[in-house]
Amino acid sequence: MESSKITFDQLPHVVGGLSEKLDRVLDLLEKAGIASHSKQSKPSRRLVYAKEACQIIGKSLSTLYRAVKAPNDPIPSYKRGKLLYFYEKELLCPHILLVYKDIAPRSVY
């Protein structure tokens, strides 16, 4: 590996070389089954509002708001203006479902 300094004039050539090397590495990873060039492999992240988040985790709106502000293990949320948003994928995380969703119905005595 060269340790000489790259001048501004050499920059496009060097970046082009790096791009070619990166493409070769990605091709090797794809052949090995480790990486994929397709954009479909990237999971989509769907935003949901608070009411839909309540349905996903099976809790009331007030419980959801308390869980967002919980000091030790809050539900991940995003706020823009007055509205609170959640990513559906984060709500379906096994940890969130285990902590906040009723697994079995409670019997009333």
What residues does each domain of the chain span?
11-39, 47-100
Q: Read off the pLDDT of residues 2-45 as tens digits, 9 standing for 90 and up.
A: 568 889 999 999 999 999 999 998 888 888 777 655 544 444 68
Give the DSSP H or E segment for 51: helix 50-57
Q: Residue 48: its pLDDT value, please? A: 92
Mean pLDDT of the 51-80 span: 88
Q: Between 68 and 39, where is the model more confident?
A: 68
What ranges make up the beta strands (E) of the chain?
47-49, 78-80, 83-87
Mean pLDDT across the stretch 62-84? 87
